[in-house]
Structure 1
Amino acid sequence: MLNLASMLEYTARHHPDREAVTQGSLRLTYAELDAAANRVANLLADRGIGRGDRVALSCPNRVEFPTLYYGILKAGAAVVPLNVMLQPREIAYHLTDSQAKAFFCHAGPTAAVPASAVAEAVAQTPSCEHLILITDDPADDSPLTDVPTLSTVLASRSDVHETVCTLESDTAVILYTSGTTGSPKGAELTHANMTLNALTCHRTIEARQDDVHLIVLPLFHSFGQTVQMNATFGIGARMVLMPRFEAAKVMRTLAREEVTVFAGVPTMYWKLLEEPVEDDTRKSVTARLRMAISGGAALAVEIAERFRKAFGISIHEGYGLSETSPMVTFQHPGRPPKPGSVGSPVWGVEMRLVDPSGTEVTDGEPGEVAIRGHNVMKGYFGRPEATTEVLRDGWFFSGDIARRDADGDYVLVDRAKDLIIRGGYNVYPRELEEALLTHPDVSLAAVIGVPHPVHGEEVKAYVIRRQGSHLSEDNLRTWCKSVMAAYKYPRLFEFCDELPMTASGKILKRQLK
């Protein structure tokens, strides 16, 4: 038997009174959280849901997320975390594709979709027999008198439950890819995938029981789930939840809760650097913060250096994907992080770079990242052909392009799908974005390729100027020509106040395109 819920259960047995999760003024111990998850498991069992079934969960960073997540696992079912920003049509697609039998969905004034629209989406899904709303106040959804709320259905449930025996090869979580090409696909991650990757995170970041993790990464995303939630509960540390990223609130919370570990995507670090911070707050943060982790997208060297100067610690960058549970590489503690690098493979994981023919490239040459190890998914749910495309001879082919240096560290070049081919030359957007960020008047930049009748593609940069800057397109183009090769510098520019981002803070290049 192996069940991912053991990450919570073990700590609840040995440290029942230790504080597990904080959300505002609400604080739960490990014993309280485990008991709440048991009530969820009993609810599902009473409704005939168990091993081999799938249960969808759409919830922001609230205590209900880990309660439901581990409760679903305890019942033997697989968790299908959904992006809280999904609209009704998208909700119906994910429920249908995953064949979910039940759906726990956050509702109320702060929800992205009205409860009535969620109910209509569920009605279009024959497999989904149960909709339960997560809400602070049942009155928020008074028109839906026939749809129960979580607090109501759990009120009479027992807080004692014997976890269902699951095998290490059973699916624990189905994580949907962002769907940048075609329809989103569900990566099936086993109990072994998720458990071993969480334990590897302990080892890799040198986790401590007295750590306090601030979690602003959405828990429906693999980064927040494994690197923070599962790893935190497995070691017995404390998790501070914030439903959304707001730079000013994050800084105050880092200071107030004496946070020791912060993880975010690069745009979060950029926003923290742009936020005015009082000296006392900054001193409080730097006094306690021992580990800053970045993932989800390539971290610009300029942002990493600015953060080190502002907060006195280096950001440790890692690399992973939904299909790999997610952690693949990390800038391991014990040596200074190498700017621009995502480090080397973590314990139990192998990585190689190959050319289009499948031949391994030499150090310094770009190649597609191929991965094998305990972290690699067993496949895309219900999509054998798509699975065969990316899983070959035990290796997962990621579609990411990287280089390996002489020390064995990897540098991400770009996503293969983001590669711009201008006049027959390969142009890597990340390289240009790194260069643009060194301009004193550029705050953030995103580079894409747009159609061109002669060159095939032309290079275009979307740029957010620093506050008070009046940088012009002509001046920036002239500067780019002085620091970039003639075939690659952007010819087209668009200045903007913000860039489209996912709920986890990644820049949505497909939306720019």
Structure 2
Amino acid sequence: MLNLSVLLENSARRFPNKTAFVFGDTALSFAQINGAANQVANGLKSKGIQPGDKVALSCFNLPYFPIIYFGILKAGAVVVPLSVLLKKDEIVYHLGDSEAKAYFCFVGTPDLPMGQLGHQAFSEASTCEHFFLIMPQPTDAPSIPGVATLGSLMAGQSPVAESYATGAEDTAIIIYTSGTTGRPKGAELTHSNLLQNAILSADLVGIRPEDTLLIVLPLFHIFAMTVLMNAGLYRAATSVLLPRFDAEAVFGLMAKHKVTVFAGVPTMYWGLLNYREEKFDYPGIAAQLRIAVSGGASLPVQVLKDFEARFNVPIIEGYGMSEGSPVVTFNHPDRPRKPGSIGTPVWGVEVKLIDDKGQTVPVGEKGQLLYRGHNVMKGYYRKPAATAESLKDGWLHSGDVAIEDADGYFYIVDRTKDMIIRGGFNVYPREVEEVMIQHPAISMVAVIGVPDDEYGEEIKACVVLKDGVSASPEEIIEWTKERIAGYKYPRVVELLAALPMSATGKILKKELRK
């Protein structure tokens, strides 16, 4: 047997009184988190939730997230984490597609009424039998009359429970891919997938019990869930929770809690780099910060260099995806780090690059990245055709284009779906973005392909300028033209105040293409 809840249970046994999670002025110990998760498990069992049943969860980065997450797992059920930004119809789809029997949903805020939307969606989801509203305080009355709350489910339940003996290959979570093309698909990850990835993540980042992690990446996303929450629990580190990214709030928490480990997506590093208020002791924050991790998207080398120059802390890049639990490659601590590289395969995982004919490409040539190992999902839930397309002979086809250098380090060039074909030439947006971000006036850039009668696709750059600096589209085009091959530079530049972002901080190129 193997149940992922062993991560929490083992630390609760070894360090019962140590602080596991901090949110605002609240600090909860490992024993408190474990006891509350047991109450959730007992509550779910009392409602008839059986091992293997799916239970959905929409929640910000609050202590309720790990409590409910591990409560579901302890009951032998499957966690279906949902983005907090989903609209009603999207929630209906996810509840139906995953066949969720129960749904925990945080009440939300006035500008993000998650509870209201969640309850409306629950009412339209025919397979979902139970709805639990998560209120700010467990004793709060529900904001929707007559609805059960997390507090009412836990009330009177024992804080002692024996976790269900799931098998290592049983599904632990169904995590939905972002769905850049078509409807999102639910990747089935096993207890073994997630446990092994948490252990190797803890080793790669070097997490220790004395570490303090700052979790601002959303916990419903596999990156924060595995590399921070689960790896932190495995090593009995303390995690500070922040529901949404704000540079000032991040620096404030780093200073207050002496944060040693930070993980973010590139837009977060960009946000921290551009925050210049003299409110904090930045040398003091930098002295405490031991390591920073970047993933989720490619970090522009210029941003990495500027961040490291300012804070004197290494940013370690890795590569992963939901289907890979998520970590596939990483810049290993015992090997030289190459800025701009996603490193080498993690323990137990093989990586290769292939061409359109399925042949392995020579070193230095572009190819689609494939991987296999203990991290690969079981498949997409109830989608055998999509699974067969992605998983062939045990190899997961990532859809990402990469290059391998002579030392075995990999570099992501771009998504195959993002590649622009201009007049028969392949143009990878990342390559153009890496050049453009070096322009002295450019703060952020996203390159996309737009339909063109003559060339099939034309190259367009959506640009955010640095505060107080000006540059015209014509100037930017001319500057880029001098530094990149003639078929690669953008013919169209649009200046924007901001770029659209997903809940995980990724730039939404599909929104820019509308």
Matches within 5 A, 1:382-401: 382-401=382-401
**1:416 alignment partner in structure 2:** 416
Q: Who is 2:222 aligned against?
A: 222
DSSP 3-state at the match of 1:161: coil
For the 8 Å contact 1:252–1:281, the answer to whether it is kept is no
Give the C-alpha shift of residue 142 in structure 1: 5.4
Paired residues in the alignment total 513
Assess, with a 3 A threshold, how the Cα gap between structure 1 residues 372 and 108 changes in structure 2: closer, same or farther. Answer: closer
| Aligned amino acid, residue 241 of structure 1 | L
The whole-number CA distance in structure 2 between the counterparts of 1:137 and 1:3 is 29
Counterpart in 2 of 1:46? 46
CA contact (8 A) 1:87 1:113 kept: no
Report if aligned partners of 2:390, 2:396 keep a CA contact under 8 Å in 1: yes
Aligned to 1:272: 272
1:460 maps to what in 2? Answer: 460
Provide closer, same or farther for how the CA distance between residues 141 and 34 of structure 1 changes in structure 2, counting only shifts above 3 A.
closer
Deviation, structure 1 residue 138:
8.3
Segments of 5+ residues of structure 2 without an aligned counterpart are: none
Distance 1:512 1:95 in 2: 28
- Which residue matches 1:489? 489
Residue aligning to 1:148: 148
Contact 1:364/1:405 (8 A) holds in 2: yes
For 2:381 and 2:126, how far apart are their aligned partners in 1?
Answer: 18
- CA offset digits 1:251-292 (Å, max 9, x no partner): 111111100000000000000000014385201211110110
CA-CA distance at 1:108 after TM superposition:
4.0
Question: d(CA) in 2 for partners of 1:142 and 1:232?
Answer: 32
In the alignment, what sits opposite 1:196?
196
Mapped partners of 2:45, 2:56: distance in 1: 15
Residues 17, 114 of structure 1: CA spacing in aligned structure 2 closer, same or farther, 3 A cutoff?
closer
Give the equivalent residue in structure 1 for 2:304: 304
User: Given the alignment of the two structures, is residue 326 of structure 1 paired with residue 339 of structure 2, yes or no?
Assistant: no
Partner of 1:356: 356
Give structure 1 stretches of 5+ with no counterpart. Answer: none
Report the identity percentage. Answer: 51
Provide the residue aligned with 2:375 in structure 1: 375
Q: Equivalents in 2 of 1:340, 1:38: separation in Å? A: 43
2:107, 2:116 within 8 Å by CA — same for their partners in 1?
no
User: CA deviation digits over 1:303-344, x for unaligned, max 9?
Assistant: 000011000012100000000000001111134421210100
Q: Which amino acid aligns with 1:150?
A: L
Structure 2 residue aligned with 1:407: 407
Larger mean CA deviation between 420-429 and 105-114 belongs to 105-114
Q: 1:36-86 CA deviation, whole Å, 9 max, x = no partner? A: 000000001111112111000000000000000000000000100000000
Judge conservation of contact 2:262–2:293 (CA < 8 Å) in 1.
Answer: yes
What residue number does 2:174 align with?
Answer: 174
Q: Which residue matches 1:120?
A: 120
- The answer to whether the 8 Å contact 2:252/2:280 transfers is no
Q: TM-score, normalised by structure 2?
A: 0.98
Taking structure 1 as reference, are residues 142 and 235 closer, same or farther at Cα in structure 2, changes over 3 Å only? closer
Letter in 2 for 1:362: P
Cα distance in 2, alignment partners of residues 69 and 61 from structure 1 = 12
Give the Cα separation in 2 of the matches to 1:15 and 1:138: 25
Query: Would the alpha carbon gap of residues 451 and 141 (structure 1) be closer, same or farther in structure 2, given more than 3 Å must change?
Result: farther
Aligned-residue Cα RMSD (Å) equals 1.3
In 1, are the aligned partners of 2:331 and 2:343 still within 8 Å (CA)? yes
Write the distance in 2 (CA, Å) between the matches of 1:392 and 1:36.
41
Which residue matches 2:347?
A: 347
Moved more, 18-27 or 276-285: 276-285
1:187 paired residue number: 187
Determine the C-alpha separation between the residues in 2 that align with 1:279 and 1:127: 51
Whether 1:67 and 2:67 are equivalent positions in the alignment is yes
The answer to whether the 8 A contact 1:107-1:141 is kept is: no
| DSSP-derived class of the 1:412 partner | strand
Look up the equivalent residue of 2:347 and give its one-letter code.
Answer: W
CA shift digits 1:72-126 (9 cap, x unpaired): 0000001000000001100000000000000000114357235343222111111
Q: Which residue of 2 aligns with 1:505?
A: 505
Counterpart residue type for residue 402 of structure 2: A
Equivalent pair of 1:314/1:337 in contact (CA under 8 Å): no
Distance in 2 between the 1:395 and 1:117 partners?
Answer: 38
Given residue 322 of structure 1, which amino acid in structure 2 is its aligned partner?
S
> Does 62-71 or 197-206 show the bigger shift?
197-206
Change (3 A) 1:137 1:10: closer
CA contact (8 A) 1:403 1:413 kept: yes
Cα pair 1:351 1:370 within 8 Å, conserved:
yes
1:318–1:4 distance in 2 versus 1, CA, 3 Å = same
Matches of 1:55 and 1:49, distance apart in 2? 9
CA–CA distance in structure 1, aligned partners of residues 359 and 115 of structure 2: 52
User: Secondary structure of the equivalent of 1:434?
Assistant: helix
- Return the offset for 1:151: 1.5
Does the Cα contact within 8 Å between 1:315 and 1:337 map onto a contact in 2?
no
Q: Deviation per CA, 1:432-484, whole angstroms, max 9, x where unpaired? A: 11111111110000000000001000000000101111101111111011001
Describe the SS at the equivalent of 2:417. Answer: helix
Check 1:7–1:335 CA distance in 2 against 1; reply closer, same or farther (3 A cut): same
Q: Give 1:152 deviation, angstroms.
A: 2.2
Rounded to whole Å, the distance in 1 between the matches of 2:230 and 2:146 is 34
Structure 2 counterpart of 1:224, which letter? A
- 1:272 aligned counterpart, secondary structure: helix
Question: Given that residues 41 and 75 in structure 1 are in contact (C-alpha distance below 8 angstroms), is that contact kept between their aligned partners in structure 2?
Answer: yes
Q: Distance in 1 between matches of 2:260 and 2:336?
A: 18
Write the mapping of 1:88-103 to structure 2, written as runs, cut at 5 A: 88-103=88-103
| TM-score when normalising by structure 1 | 0.98
2-side partners of 1:59 and 1:20: how far apart? 18
Distance 1:151 1:336 in 2: 50
Aligned-pair CA distance for 1:207: 1.7
